[in-house]
Amino acid sequence: MMNRRRFFFLGAMASAATAPRVSAQENAPSGRLRVAVMGLGRGMAHVDAWLKVPNVTVAGLCEVDERRMADGVKRVAAAGQADVPRTERDFRRLLEDRNIDVLSIAAPNFWQTPAAVLACAAGKHVYVEKPGSHNGAESMLLGKAAAHGKRHVQQGTQRRSLPALQEAVARIQSGEIGTVRSVRCWYDADRGPVKLARDAAVPGWLDWSLWQGPCPDQPYLDGLVHYNWHWRWHYGGGELANNGVHMLDLALWGLGGGRPERVVCGGGRHHFKDDQETPDTVILAAELGKATVAFDSSSCHQRKGAEKHDLVSFYGDAGSLTMTSQGYRINDPAGKELARNDGEFTDVPHFRNLADAIRDGKSLNCDIATGQQAALICHLGNIAYRTDGSAGLDPASGLPYGDAAMALWSRSYREGWAPQVG
């Protein structure tokens, strides 16, 4: 009986996709895609994944750290690609190359929307890392950029392309655990204190001006690059925008999407007196009308033993479904396990899905408009945390209520860098 039901759910996955289709495009007679990767920290995983997608060439690399650039070129050669990728500090030079079809963006949050908007305007398809946007205004802009340029833009919440989790969502949406009333998400880590030295000289290997890109210029802080920018509001969005978007995206996927009516968020910086500005402890609740989604994060105190949680749990009238990083299990209301699929984690299917969309017209597993629903919850959560604890959007205007929230809805940009569509 379970085998027949499992077969049904695997077959139902195709009809569960909600991403709109964009007309397919082949920029070369062979259908070969030429990809440029921007940012070679997380971007090294992009390089590895793209090189495993059939008929793809990594044709360009962009990095403001010259040490990483050399490593990127070596990585491509080690994978057996004969063509040497073009290297540039400024990704705009790569956008000028008519032979490049895709910009794969692994640069920091504050770069993601400006780079994606320019790429769409230049006729490139885009793979952009989560969260895809630095703030709410950018979140709203990304879908417009993709539609206006008629480009495929895939958000890097890559678990949407894992077969086991696709199966899990099909089982939720078929009603196997009944009507879902609430979803709980967790993230924890053991991050230590961060010290950012002022009055330090910019290292010779770093182009500090290009690293900041669209951000208003700030003095260099030693220790900020390449990761601790996450914990400064000028550049990042804390753990919500770093890892929270992954879990919240899974929650919305299972629920079939939705825009929050209200988001409440509280927490604080409790563990260290250091140079981080964003909270290390966060509890968020987003009310979607049909269900409440909660996110519980402890970045500097890793929970273990009985307090160690999986990523996301869906609670329905007829049972629960809990997602791990790559699989799931179903329990009845009494807690008895009824089914499980441990799955396997890999980035490659998400990149292959974008290639298939470009070449064959297949639907994206996480088109940018869909992915930004989770990013929006993160942005509203950060607004709520930084104001009075609550944030929501006016249905008529699509903008947040109140002057304090509006002040955090967007940001100022370096001259000439404000992203625009049309």
User: At 174, is the secondary structure helix, strand, or coil?
Assistant: coil
pLDDT of residue 132: 98
pLDDT of residue 422: 84
Residue 395 lies in a domain: yes
Number of domains in the chain: 2
Residue 10 lies in a domain: no
Average pLDDT, the chain: 93
Residues 151 and 238 grouped into a single domain: no
Residue 298 has pLDDT above 70, yes or no: yes
**Rounded Cα–Cα distance for residues 381 and 392 (Å):** 9
Residue 418 lies in a domain: no
Residue 12 has pLDDT above 90, yes or no: no
Residues 23 and 150 grouped into a single domain: yes
Domain containing residue 125: 17-160+352-360
Residue 371 has pLDDT above 90, yes or no: yes
Residue 278 CA, chain-centre distance (Å), reads: 19
Look up the CATH number of the domain holding residue 151.
3.40.50.720
Residues 234 and 313 grouped into a single domain: yes
When mean pLDDT is compared across 26-40, 151-165, 249-263, 334-348, the lowest value belongs to 26-40
What is the pTM for the complete model shown? 0.92
Residue 414 lies in a domain: no
Give the model confidence (pLDDT) of 205-244 as tens digits. 999 999 999 999 999 999 999 999 999 999 999 999 999 9
**Rounded Cα–Cα distance for residues 35 and 44 (Å):** 13
Residues 151 and 294 grouped into a single domain: no
> Is there a contact between 283 and 265 (Cβ–Cβ < 8 Å)?
yes
| Measured CA distances, 96 to 103, 154, 160, 252 (Å) | 12, 21, 31, 37
Residue 203 lies in a domain: no
Residue 62 has pLDDT above 90, yes or no: yes
Residue 404 has pLDDT above 70, yes or no: yes
Residues 115 and 82 grouped into a single domain: yes
* Closest to 104 (Cα-Cα) out of 142, 54, 152, 163: 152
Residue 120 lies in a domain: yes
Residues 185 and 88 grouped into a single domain: no
Residues 149 and 251 grouped into a single domain: no
Residues 110 and 171 grouped into a single domain: no
pLDDT of residue 30: 58
Residue 198 lies in a domain: no
Q: If you average pLDDT over residues 378-386, what whole number do you get? A: 98
Residues 147 and 171 grouped into a single domain: no
Residue 289 has pLDDT above 80, yes or no: yes
Q: In degrees rounded to 5, what are phi and psi of residue 326?
A: -145, 0
Percent of the chain with pLDDT over 70: 93
Give the model confidence (pLDDT) of 89-112 as tens digits. 999 999 999 999 999 999 999 999
Residues 44 and 111 grouped into a single domain: yes
Return the number of other C-beta atoms located less than 10 Å from residue 309's C-beta: 15
Residues 356 and 403 grouped into a single domain: no
Look up the CATH number of the domain holding residue 253.
3.30.360.10
pLDDT of residue 20: 35
Residues 329 and 256 grouped into a single domain: yes
Give the model confidence (pLDDT) of 13-52 as tens digits. 333 333 333 333 444 445 899 999 999 999 999 999 999 9
pLDDT of residue 18: 33
Q: Is 23 exposed, middle or buried (0-12, 13-18, 19+ CB in 10 A)?
A: exposed
* Closest to 246 (Cα-Cα) out of 131, 344, 331: 131
Residue 316 lies in a domain: yes
> Is there a contact between 103 and 119 (Cβ–Cβ < 8 Å)?
yes
